[in-house]
Amino acid sequence: MYKLLRSILFLWQPEKIHDFTVHFLKFLDKIPIIPPIIRLFCNYRNPVLERDVFGIRFQNPIGLAAGFDKNGDAFNAIANFGFGFVEIGSLTPQPQDGNPKPRCFRLTKDQAIVNRMGINNKGVRHAISYIQKHRNSCPIGCSITKGRETAMADAYKDYELSFEYMYDYVDYFVLNVSCPNVKDASSNQNLENITPIIDKLLELRIMYDDYRPILLKISPDVDREYLDDVINLVLISGLDGIIAANTTAKRENLRSSKSSVEKAGNGGLSGKPLYDRTLSLVKYIRHKTNGHLPIIASGGVMTPAQALELLDSGASLVEIYTGFIYNGPRFVKKINKHIAKALIERKSQL
């Protein structure tokens, strides 16, 4: 059924259909009878799926990755599809338009997306004005990053501003230093540039009564040396976890024709081709941290079995984005049912 709908939706430019879908879901969410119906068809609850990660209770381990609800004004409508958490953003202190359009493309043969959105978002105040009026139905993460025009030396100010604005409204924060589609993409990731940002936020956090976990989202394109350094930084600084990982700037092992890959152009690639890299990152980080650091796996989850494999390999939670687009509204339910079944079977064998 979704395959048919998908073939119609895929006739449109990805960003257009994404914006239309988000508006439509927000509209449906306002009709009292609709959200319970969506939940009836798309939610799956089972106590074996529940877990506590960095002090937050999650009904299930499957979350929506950053970039889908960029403005933080649609998370409840999207959570109806069975997500255990939703990560909004990435947000910047001021609204920004992002890169020129078109900036998002499908590589259907690879079940992938190439995007160079450039962190288009309506800014933190817009998100707050929505959140103040709507109680969230699941934990909300907030991905924050530096504004396009902000100099690298001042990046910490942007992070501080968004952090302070959003602190009372969300459950955890993600520092997005790994977006490949922005002006300062490579220097954003330099540890010399990340360290002052982390220090400032940790200093700020002490002032608050309530604790908000802070995670770092890394790129899948990093080498071993950088990865070791970033793991050390996270452990020593006292950050609460790592998200592995963002989209890749690489174009390896693709089945799509050379011309369609070239037509899509530069940008971050997400979806199926990312999966092996995500799995190896999760295994490596788990090994290096003896399983003591929470990891959120993100990248290329296209089947329920892959989500389970990531959890078994050391991820505490799993985020999806492209898999949701390609597999449809009941994908989260399918994943959660699969995980619950496996966990129950394992328990019964003990």
Site residues, ligand FMN (CB under 6 A): 65-67, 70, 89-90, 104, 113, 115, 117, 119, 143, 176, 179, 217, 246-247, 270-271, 274, 298-301, 320-323
CB of 260 to ligand FMN, least distance (A): 17
User: Tokens for 167?
Assistant: 């602190």
CB of 300 to ligand FMN, least distance (A): 5
CB of 322 to ligand FMN, least distance (A): 3
Query: Whose Cβ is closer to ligand FMN: residue 48's or residue 329's?
Result: 329
Distance (Å, whole) CA 58 – CA 138: 8
Query: Whose Cβ is closer to ligand FMN: residue 49's or residue 296's?
Result: 296
CB 82 within 8 A of CB 60: yes
Q: Residue 265 burial (CB < 10 Å; 0-12/13-18/19+)?
A: exposed
Task: Give residue number: closest CB to ligand FMN.
Answer: 67
Distance (Å, whole) CA 295 – CA 310: 10
C-alpha triplet 65, 340, 335: angle, nearest 5°? 35
CB of 226 to ligand FMN, least distance (A): 18
Query: Whose Cβ is closer to ligand FMN: residue 179's or residue 311's?
Result: 179
Q: Which amino acid is at 244?
A: A
Query: Whose Cβ is closer to ligand FMN: residue 137's or residue 303's?
Result: 303
CB of 222 to ligand FMN, least distance (A): 14
Query: Whose Cβ is closer to ligand FMN: residue 164's or residue 276's?
Result: 276
CB 310 within 8 A of CB 54: no
Write the CA distances from 56 to 61, 280, 333, 344, integer angstroms.
11, 26, 21, 23
